[in-house]
Chain A
């Protein structure tokens, strides 16, 4: 009897906190939806970039925050998504963005399944080095096969050629860039919401719990019957697919894909974002990606030595605020509400 009551109360408390989360999420979404009406187009573009990178960081954090694997090669999946879209648009002449997304995701899943199969054989530092080495294979191929990939010139992907929502929205005629930015913002926002919801479900599902068990104690996890390596592999593929989706969405906005998005310092930037926001929390990478995007834009605009500025921020973060923006904010809030 008592046991039933406790369960009900616990479920009620869980329900209440879920509802609170839902209300907050809806409010944020509502605010984001109104944003393009308030701010100028440049800000809209910036936020779009931020949301795209948030999808990438969200995917990356399934590995770092939930599975305990630090990948230093997520540029590979971002780049695979980006280059697949570029190939689809250039070589197949496809116009539908949805087609690009499906094709790009297929490409990314293929690559991350292959790379992941190899990488999950190791953990800790060797995992990091393996992911880095494999991402550099792709980088060197994109860099050297210039007759396929355009080398350092990259491949142009013109937004004007693309259509959204199966041809319902196209960007022909005058003033198309403003219309593209406006429509694409909502397109990215929709996919970002979808990706966030899916990721939330994943990390709160039994599968997500199993991943956290693996992160906390690999031996115990395998003793309770979790096939550690297969779970890691699946997490790797999901993680790669999310980062790939970010690459896919990034290309039309950037208009160009170059080997830079496959080069390993770009993987470092994805890691940076997650740590900036705080990789111990679910929303940390999202906040971190948006914040990093503003930080980088501001740094690049204000000084030639923006990299130095970002490096100092990263070093300070690691030394002083290892729990990131969200972790630190949560600690401050709990201190003041107590």
Chain B
């Protein structure tokens, strides 16, 4: 029973991280119709930046001067940094390509992926970088006869807050209306006087922020390593394909499905755990091409 509860908590933790990545990917596709192959690398970059900042703070400040709360507040720096990177990428690399076929979107983001992967190797080196002091500092909770890290529950909470916040942002604010209008009909939105170029920068930056936030929250629990972004991207793809590209609810449900299937897979059928996920995505694409929550 205890194991069962812990597995559910693990799935929720994993779902929260996946949701953050996939929601960003989905948002960017929904508004800009761009599938960003570099999205996973941006997630990885977020993880590296956060780990580097937290690690630097722990190393330099007098012991305990910052405290746990201080370190936690440092964590989102990774997300903000990635949002800035995104705001720089959109006008320089993506904007010239909107009129071209989408093959070129995939190609340029693939080029970006290659650049980002090596940039991380250059900046942070080959050794894994972790912000484990946060996780250690938070201690653990007793669940049955076992101990469970409190930090994982914090991540689940962050995932929930992010989902609610994003929902509120998109469906309850003026900017959300502008975002949805641009997503539905770019030309009409422009004709009504919206600055579509600015909306695109903002949407891309928000999507990148989500990816960076995913990296930032995961790094106290799992060290940032090279190649983590490439793995994460394909899983995020599976999530958005199941849920529907461009759909926020879809990203949430997809993340839950993927993480529960994966946890069950690791427990019961470890050899085909990943294959099953890809096959689920394929099946969804065949039966409902727009995903569970997607619109045509």
Interface residues of A (CB under 8 A from B): 64, 70, 72, 118, 121-122, 124-126, 128-130, 132-134, 136-137, 140-141, 143-145, 264-265, 268, 271-272, 275, 304-308, 310-315, 317-319, 322
Contact = CB atoms under 8 A, between A and B. Distances in A.
Q: Which 6 A-B pairs have the closest CB atoms?
A: A311-B114, A314-B111, A308-B118, A140-B274, A311-B115, A315-B111
Interface of B is mostly: helix
Given A72-B106, A140-B278, A318-B111, A129 B286 contact: no
Given A126-B289, A271-B107, A136 B118 contact: no
Interface residues of B, number: 43
B178 interface: no
B106 A305 contact: no
Contact of A318 (B97, B122, B281): B97
A144 B274 CA distance: 9
Contacts of A143: 274
Contacts of A137: 275, 278-279, 282
Interface string B74-108: 00000000000000000001001100101110111
A72 B245 CA distance: 17
B35 A129 contact: yes
B208 interface: no
A275 B107 CA distance: 9
B18 interface: no
Given A70-B103, A134-B282, A265 B230 contact: yes
B115 A133 contact: no
Nearest to A305: B118
A122 B279 CA distance: 16
B254 to A, nearest CB: 13
Most B CB contacts (10 A, CB to CB) among A122, A136, A141, A319 go to A136
Nearest to B97: A318
Contact of A133 (B35, B116, B241, B273): B241
Interface in B234-285: 234, 237-238, 241, 245, 270-275, 278-279, 281-282, 285
A144 B119 contact: no
A133 B108 contact: no
Interface string B100-136: 1011101110111111111101100000000000000
25 contacts: A64-B103, A121-B289, A122-B285, A125-B102, A126-B285, A128-B35, A130-B285, A133-B234, A140-B272, A268-B110, A271-B110, A272-B107, A275-B107, A305-B122, A307-B114, A308-B122, A311-B112, A312-B111, A313-B111, A314-B110, A314-B111, A315-B111, A315-B112, A317-B111, A319-B93
Contacts of B271: 141, 144-145
A141 B285 contact: no
Contact of B100 (A265, A315, A322): A322
B102 A124 contact: yes
Given A118-B282, A130-B285, A264 B107 contact: no
Most A CB contacts (10 A, CB to CB) among B230, B241, B271 go to B271
Contacts of A64: 103
